[in-house]
Amino acid sequence: MLKESWFDSHCHLDMPAFDAVRAARWSAAQARGVAGALIPGLEPAQWLRAQACAASLGTGSYWSIGLHPWWIAKQPTTLTPQLLAEALSAHYSSAGCVAIGECGLDGAIELPLAQQVPWLESQLAFAQDKALPVILHQHRAHNQLLEVLNRYPGVIGVVHGFSGSLAMAEEYIRRGLLLGIGGVVTYPRASKTRATVQALPAESFLLETDAPSMPVYGRQGADNRPEYLGEIAQAVAQLRGESLAQLATRMRANGQRLFGI
Ligand SMILES: [Zn+2]
């Protein structure tokens, strides 16, 4: 369908939801021009799974190490933000590991934001120290996240699954971050995010599916798949009045610049 080659910058293909269908989902994605994916880290116990998954996808796929806010409460009580930093230190130079995260803040989970902050800070401090990009998860905590980011100047990365106004987007761009644009942009009713994507500087974003989450328009109720990245690309290209070839070239450059891949 697409002759361009795409990179799914946020894809949880390592998740058990894909166990029975992983190879089939990945070959379907490749057949539709998805040449690589980044498998995000969620918690220390999952990092080697992310690494193995990325390796199984072949050259052009990568993984990251981090502690996602949803997984904080599930960690052994012996883990501290300091010990998390030591675990990051033991894994960050492994083959194919290109970023720290997902990490971030979520205002819609039971764990109070104040208890999420120390975990985010240990990951930001590590990323700053090693000059590695971060993959940020932000949900209903935009202002609090900006406040924390202000304490870690120079940290680069991507705010994944972005939806929101251009003013919000600009707050991240100003701090050196890119925006991960996913399935939201395919929904006609997502007028605010669609208007934002239309106006974003070309060097300020990446494309992602967040599979198995964030289904594209018309495919609600089923697990999302990396092969649908092309539908996101088409929506973005159309909104911006660009050709798919132009968009693909730009996305490759943005991914290379951020992740050094
Ligand atoms: Zn994710």
21-70 confidence digits (pLDDT tens): 999 999 999 999 999 999 999 999 999 999 999 999 999 999 999 999 99
Tell me, in angstroms, the distance from the centre of ligand 1 to residue 194's CA. Answer: 21
Show the tokens assigned to 219: 């495919």
Tell me, in angstroms, the distance from the centre of ligand 1 to residue 135's CA. Answer: 9
Q: Which domains does the chain have, with CATH numbers?
A: 6-259 (3.20.20.140)
Tell me, in angstroms, the distance from the centre of ligand 1 to residue 137's CA. Answer: 7
Show the tokens assigned to 3: 């002759």
Looking up tokens 């502690």 gives 67
Tell me, in angstroms, the distance from the centre of ligand 1 to residue 247's CA. Answer: 23
Tell me, in angstroms, the distance from the centre of ligand 1 to residue 201's CA. Answer: 24
Strand arrangement, sheet containing 177-181: 6-8, 34-39, 62-65, 97-106, 134-139, 157-159, 177-181, 205-207
Tell me, in angstroms, the distance from the centre of ligand 1 to residue 103's CA. Answer: 9
Give the pLDDT confidence of 93-126 residue by residue, as tens digits.
999 999 999 999 999 999 999 999 999 999 999 9
Cα of 223 vs its chain's centroid, Å: 17
Show the tokens assigned to 1: 């369908």
Give the pLDDT confidence of 200-228 residue by residue, as tens digits.
999 999 999 999 999 899 999 989 999 99
Residue 45: closest CA among 22, 80, 76: 76
Tell me, in angstroms, the distance from the centre of ligand 1 to residue 148's CA. Answer: 20
CA atoms of 160 and 146, how far apart (whole Å):
14
- In angstroms, the Cα distances linking 135 to 38, 102, 162, 208, 259 are 10, 5, 12, 12, 10
